[in-house]
Amino acid sequence: MNLDKIAKSVRKRIFEFKTRSRAGHLASCLSCVDVLVSLYYDEGTVFNHEEDVFIFSKGHGSPTVYPILVDLGYIDKSELDKYCTPEGMLKLHADHTIPGCHFVGGSLGNGIGYAAGLAHGSKKDVYVMLGDAELYEGSVWETLIFTAHHNINNLNIIVDRNWMGILGKTEDLLKLEPLEEKFKSFGFETCTVDGHNFEELREVFSKKCDKPRVIIADTVKGKGVSYMEDVWQYHTIIPKEEELLKKAMEELS
């Protein structure tokens, strides 16, 4: 299975429905594509989309999963064309009314606690993705204390560490580092991986853990579209000019 090719295809489709609808958070979605592709497509990982649960605590990144849900047959391909239109079911923030999605999105710092409860109550393996700037929410740290204490080891916390908030670099705005040490000190099995390297992602997602764990996926915001990569203004800007659209499509094809 050519994961690079799949990731490109996912990015391309995200770029298409985001630029067509002009409905938000394109760069935030692009940063976490490879993590999702690793989980949903790489047979070397233990994630099973039919049995396990993936939750976006980072709700604004949730449209990343839409092309994947099309590929896996949860939703019809035509839904991507109807993204954020009255005729369509796919929204800017995924919610539990969409097949293959499990929780409402849009309020940061809450999906992680919900995921912890679901993991504990259902005994299923639950994967929850947080944005790094979401870590500023105090509720996240409430849940971390709770999860570590109760050893909810079927909860896998993934941080999409793209180093950016809306206003710029996290380390310039409000320091988060040393992040790995913070999670470790809370009692988590913690590792940092290149969030765009399928070998590294497979290594970490190929095993379960007897402790609750945090996987920091080091990523690039806007990944895959060269002029968007690591440019904080693209949190809100969606490329519009013909030239930019063409360039992006070339890079993603």
Partner 1 sequence: MTSQRDTFISNLFERAKLDKDICLISVDMGAPSLDIWREELPEQFFAAGISEQNAINFAAGLSASGKKVYVYFMACWVARCFEQIRYSCAMAGNPITVLGNSVGLGYTPAGPAHNPTEDIAYMRSLCGIEIYSPANNAVVKELVNLTCEEPKLRYIRFERSFPQELESFYLNSAVDSDFLNKGSHILTYDAGSGGEMSVCIFSSGYMLGRALQVAKRLESQGIDACVVDFFRVKPATLSNPRDYDHDLIVTLEEQTLPAGFGSSICEAFVDAGVKRNILRIGLPEKYIFENGSREHLLNTNGLSVETIYEKIINKL
Nearer to partner 1 (CB atom), residue 108 or residue 216:
108
Contacts for 78 with CB less than 8 Å, ≥ 6 apart: none
Q: Is the four-CA dihedral 151, 147, 113, 24 of positive or negative sign? A: negative
Nearer to partner 1 (CB atom), residue 109 or residue 239:
109
| Residues 98 and 127 sit within 8 Å (Cβ to Cβ) | no
User: How far, in Å, CA of 123 to CA of 171, rounded?
Assistant: 36
Nearer to partner 1 (CB atom), residue 31 or residue 143:
143
Give the shortest CB-155-to-partner 1 separation in angstroms: 10
Nearer to partner 1 (CB atom), residue 119 or residue 201:
119
Give the shortest CB-127-to-partner 1 separation in angstroms: 13
Nearer to partner 1 (CB atom), residue 139 or residue 197:
139
Ramachandran assignment for 225, one of left (phi > 0), alpha (psi -120 to 50 degrees), beta (any other): beta
Give the shortest CB-103-to-partner 1 separation in angstroms: 6
Nearer to partner 1 (CB atom), residue 50 or residue 241:
50
| Residues 10 and 37 sit within 8 Å (Cβ to Cβ) | yes
Instruction: Pick the closest to residue 223 from 169, 180, 161 (CA basis).
Output: 161
Give the shortest CB-185-to-partner 1 separation in angstroms: 17
Give the shortest CB-203-to-partner 1 separation in angstroms: 28
Give the shortest CB-160-to-partner 1 separation in angstroms: 19
Cβ-count burial of 121 within 10 angstroms (0-12 exposed, 13-18 middle, 19+ buried)? exposed
Per CB under 8 A, residues contacting partner 1 are: 95-96, 102-104, 106-107, 109-122, 138-139, 142-143, 145-146, 150
User: How far, in Å, CA of 144 to CA of 130, rounded?
Assistant: 12
